[in-house]
Amino acid sequence: MDHPELYDRDLVRRVASRDRDALTDLYRRHGRVLFGQILFVVSDRGISEEILQDTMVAVWRDAAKFRGDSRVRSWMIAIARRKARDRMRRHEVSAAHDDVLPERPDAAPGPELLALDRVEMADVATAVTRLRPGHREVLGLVFGAGLTLPEVAGILEIPEGTVKSRLYAARTALSEQLREKGYSR
């Protein structure tokens, strides 16, 4: 199939029919992104690998329930996120909540984008790991997984405006961390 989303939907249909090769294809196409999203939430590689396995089992089990209301990648990320949150609750690890966020995000590119242009990727990765889990998660969904703001809102089960606020707060926090390391305009 020419269109990736149509191909993904066909794979889900085949998984629902218990086609193991289709599940393998879904994993090859989306496993790396899923793992990255899980890692943003739990910050532990070993646990993230386990949650990824749990996610793929859930995809296998629930493929017939996929209604097509979202992209396949969004659906799979939502499953992975639920699995990660369930694991965190079971292990009594709490996710950070955004207590105070600006009411309106600034849509204009800020100095953080200019700073990011001059920063080594290792420094960015380190700074991202120091962000609050909610901020890491929204950055990962928007920039890592390439999801739209409405898709992120659906996955996180929050209003789109809240996604925008969290994204703004995450970018601001990341910019501050990078400035503290000596990266500036």
* DSSP of 127-169: HHHTS-HHHHHHHIIIIIS---HHHHHHHHTS-HHHHHHHHHH
Q: Please give the average pLDDT of every successive group of 10 residues along the chain, which has 185 residues.
A: 84 94 93 86 85 93 92 92 85 45 45 47 72 86 86 90 91 84 62
pLDDT tens across 44-77, in order? Answer: 888 889 999 999 999 999 999 999 888 999 999 9
pLDDT tens across 5-22, in order? Answer: 899 999 999 999 999 999
Quick one: which of 105, 127, 142 has its CA closest to 183? 127
The H or E element that residue 80 is part of is helix 72-90
Position 161 scores a pLDDT of 92
- Alpha carbons 40 and 84: distance in angstroms, whole number: 10
Position 43 scores a pLDDT of 77
Position 156 scores a pLDDT of 87
Helices 20-42 & 4-16 angle (0-180, nearest 10): 110
